[in-house]
Amino acid sequence: MPHPVPRNSESRMLEQVLASVKTGLNKGWSGLIWLVKILVPVSFATALIVHYQLLHHLDFLLQPMMTMIHLPASAAVVLVLGIFTGIYGTVAALSVIPFSMAHMTLIAVFTLISHNLIQESLVQANSGLRFSTAVVFRLVMSFIVTMICGWIMGVDAGNAGPTGVSVVQAAPGPLSVMLIDWTAGTAWLCLKILCIIMPLMVVMELARTFHIIEAVTRMTAPVLRLLGLDKSCALLWMTAAVFGLAYGAAVIVEETKNNAHDPKALTRLHLSIGVNHAMIEDPALFLSLGLPALWLWIPRLVAAMAAAWLHMGFSSARRFYAARPGHKKFCDY
C-alpha cells in the first residue's frame, strides 16, 4: 500500500493563508452587521433631529458655559451639531457661519474630542468602557482642553462671530429629499466601512496566524509607554488612531471579545482613544478651512497622554493606600 505523499511547507502555508482569509472575512461580515445595527438607527434619528431643527432648541443648555471656553454664545449650536452629527456637520456649519479664525480653531478642538458621541460611545460600551463613562469623560475633556487652549491663545469670547444662529435655521426642506440624501449617505458610509473592515480583519487574522502581531507589539512598545498605555493594547490603539472608533469599531470589538486584556489597561486605552482617535482624517478635514495644524493635532495628543497617565497614577495610589492598615474601606469604596 503506497504511503501518502507528505505535504510540503508551501502547501501548509497556503492552507493557513486561505483559512485565515476565510476567518477574517467571516469576522468582518459579522462586525459589519453588528455596526450597521447601531449606525442606521442612530444616524436616522440624528438626521430627523437635524431636519426638524431640534438641535437649535438645545443650544441654550450650552450657552452659559460658552464664556468658560472662550467662545461666543452662538457657537453652542455648532458644538451641538458636532456632538450629534460628527466632524462633517461641524465643518459644514463653519463653512457658512462667519466665526473668527481663533473661535473656529477652538470649535475644532472641542469637536475633535466630542463628536458623533452616541455612536462612538456605543462602540466603547461594547469593548470595555461604560457608555455613560465614555460620554461624560469626552465632554469633560472637551471643555477642559478647549478652555486651556483658549487661555494659551489669549482668545476672548466677546461678541465676535455671528450674533445669532439664524444662518443655520433655514426652514426645513421636504422630508422626502432628506430621506433620499440620508439613504444615499448611509449606504455610501456602510460601503466605505465594508471596504475598510474586510481587508483589515483579513490582515489581522494573517498577522495572528504568522505571529506578526507580536513583532508589531514589540515595535510600538516605546510609543505606547510614552502614551501611558500597555503594550498588549497595541493593535487596538493603532486601529483607533488610524481608522477611528466608527470605522474601526468591528476590529476593536472583535479584539476585546476574543483576547483577554487587563481591565485597567483596557480602561486606560479607552480614555486615551476616546480623546484622540482618527488622527489622520478628522484633523485633515479642518485643514480645508485654513485652521492651523498645530492646534488640530497637539492638544488631543497631550490630553490623551495626560488622561492615561493620570489614570495610571490614580490606580497606583489606590493600590498603595490599600496596602496600608486602616485603608480597607477606602479601597473597597
Q: What are phi and psi of 177, to 5 degrees?
A: -65, -45
92, burial (CB in 10 Å: exposed 0-12, middle 13-18, buried 19+)? middle
More confident residue, 327 or 122: 122
Top pLDDT among 267 and 20 is at 267
Per-residue pLDDT tens over the stretch 201-230:
888 788 878 878 777 778 888 999 999 999
State the chain's mean pLDDT as an integer.
83
Confidence check: pLDDT of 1 > 50: no
Q: How far apart are CA 115 and CA 285, in angstroms?
A: 13
pLDDT of residue 331: 52
* pLDDT of 294 above 90: yes
Give residue for cell 492638544. Answer: 299
- Could you tell me which residue, 63 or 201, shows the higher pLDDT? 201
Low-confidence winner among 7-11, 21-25, 221-225, 293-297 (lowest mean pLDDT): 7-11
Q: Which residue has the cell 452587521?
A: 33
Do residues 160 and 72 make contact, with C-beta atoms less than 8 angstroms apart? yes
Give the pLDDT confidence score for residue 161 in this predicted structure: 44
pLDDT: is 333 or 197 the higher one?
197
Give pLDDT, residue 167.
43
30: pLDDT strictly greater than 80: yes
Compute the distance between CA of residue 76 and CA of residue 56 in angstroms, rounded to an integer.
9
Q: What is the pLDDT of residues 128-149, one digit of tens each?
A: 999 999 999 999 999 999 999 9
In this structure, are residues 76 and 84 in contact, taking their beta carbons and an 8 Å threshold?
no
At 67 the pLDDT is 87
Of the ranges 42-56, 217-231, 266-280, which is most confident?
A: 266-280
State pLDDT tens for residues 152-205: 999 886 544 444 444 445 566 788 888 998 888 888 878 887 887 788 788 878
* CA dihedral of residues 278, 28, 21, 129 (deg, nearest 10): 60
Q: What is the mean pLDDT of residues 20-25?
A: 87
pLDDT of residue 120: 93
Give the pLDDT confidence of 112-133 residue by residue, as tens digits. 999 999 989 999 999 999 999 9
Query: How is 192-229 classified by DSSP, letter by letter?
Result: HHHHHHHHHHHHHHHHHHTTHHHHHHHHHHHHHHHHT-
In the chain, % of residues over pLDDT 70? 86
**Domain ranges across the chain:** 53-171+211-322
